[in-house]
Structure 1
Amino acid sequence: MAITPVIPPAFQTAYEQIKMSPGVLSGDHLFLTGMTGGDPDGQMPSDPAKQMRNAFDKIGLILSEANLPFAAIAEMTTYHIGLRDHFELFDQIRLEYLQPPYPAWTAIEAAGLRREGAIIEIRVVANVGTQTE
């Protein structure tokens, strides 16, 4: 089975520097690397809501590159620093991006994330058979 990287133009430099694909098509699924909430300029906002929206927006860029909508997300794992402190806010923002049928979801409290200042990392698996409208 072929494995094909999915690299939106906004991720090309990171792909080359870090040596990892933002997304990988394999079979009927698109696997996304965990996305944190850094801004396009690489800065990590101190505002939790901004971080959360940035992470979902980056997920949207990768899905779009593969011609998939957010509705294609079948599974989501979220890693949180201070899960209970911002869970309600995260849940509200999550519902700005996701609609029924909702993906399977696991939320995990983490001791730390790779990016300094990050409070959220979101990893998703999408079904390739779901096309954009």
Structure 2
Amino acid sequence: MASHDTKRQSINPPPTRAMYDQLHFSQATRVDDLIWVSGQVGVDATTMQPADGMGAQARLAFGGVQTVLEAAGASLADIVELTTFHTDLRGDIEEFARVKDAYLPDRYPSWTAVGVTQLARPELLVEIRAIAVAGSGDT
């Protein structure tokens, strides 16, 4: 059997280190060029409070995805699959889609939207997880 020098990296930007230590999960895991980003939510990093409304929460969550991908050596353009979890899928999907399209304006990734009854905190409306391939978004 051939030896393969694949290394698994845990990606935890400095502001997320406390979450890693407390809850024992990484914001992302990178193996070669593949990056799996853990669910990001619409919580303000300074106040640790959820933003008001779907649009604001979606922007913060996409900002979290972007921060984690940059720490992993990738960008939003490298996302190949997006999974989103919504507490009011039917009511909020259009507003969410507008925000998504602002962050991912072309070369749309695969996307699955799932309606759920609850997220980690009752005020949360959406959670975004992503899979990216570093360098794949380069044009």
Shorter-chain TM-score tier: over 0.9
1:11 lines up with 2:37 in the alignment: no
Partners of 2:21 and 2:67 lie apart in 1 by 18
Looking at structure 1, the residues matched to 74 and 136 of structure 2 have their Cα atoms a distance apart, in angstroms, of: 6
Q: Deviations over 1:78-102 (max 9, x none)?
A: 0001111111100100011003211
Written as runs of structure 1 = structure 2, the 5 A alignment for 1:83-94 is: 83-94=89-100
Per the TM alignment, residue 126 of structure 1 is displaced from its structure 2 partner at its CA by 0.3
Task: State whether residues 87 and 116 of structure 2, in contact with CA within 8 Å, keep that contact through their aligned partners in structure 1.
Answer: yes
Distance (Å, rounded) in 2 between the aligned partners of 1:116 and 1:44: 10
Q: Which one of the candidate residues 2, 24, 27 is aligned to 1:22?
A: 27
Secondary structure of 2:39's partner?
coil
CA drift at 1:132: 7.0
Q: Residue type matched to 1:25 in 2?
A: R
| TM-score using structure 2 length | 0.89
Q: TM-score by structure 1 length? A: 0.92
Q: 2:62 aligns to what?
A: 56
Alignment size in residue pairs: 133
Runs of 5+ consecutive residues of structure 2 not aligned to the other structure: 1-5
Deviation at 1:61, TM superposition (A): 0.4
Partner of 1:68: 74
Q: Which residue pairs with 2:86 in the alignment? A: 80
Please identify runs of 4+ aligned residues in structure 1 that moved more than 6 A: none
Which stretches in structure 1 are left out of the alignment for 5+ residues? none
| Among candidates 103, 117, 121, match of residue 123 of structure 2 | 117
SS in 2 for 1:33: strand
* Aligned-CA RMSD value: 1.6
The percent of aligned pairs where both chains have the same amino acid is: 30
For residues 6-51 of structure 1, the C-alpha deviation after alignment (integer angstroms, 9 at most, x for no partner) is 1111211111111110000023310011111111121112322111
Q: What is the identity, as a one-letter code, of the residue corresponding to 1:71?
A: A
Counterpart CA distance in 2 for 1:27 and 1:111 is 35
Which whole-Å CA distance do the structure 2 matches of 1:99 and 1:69 have between them?
A: 13
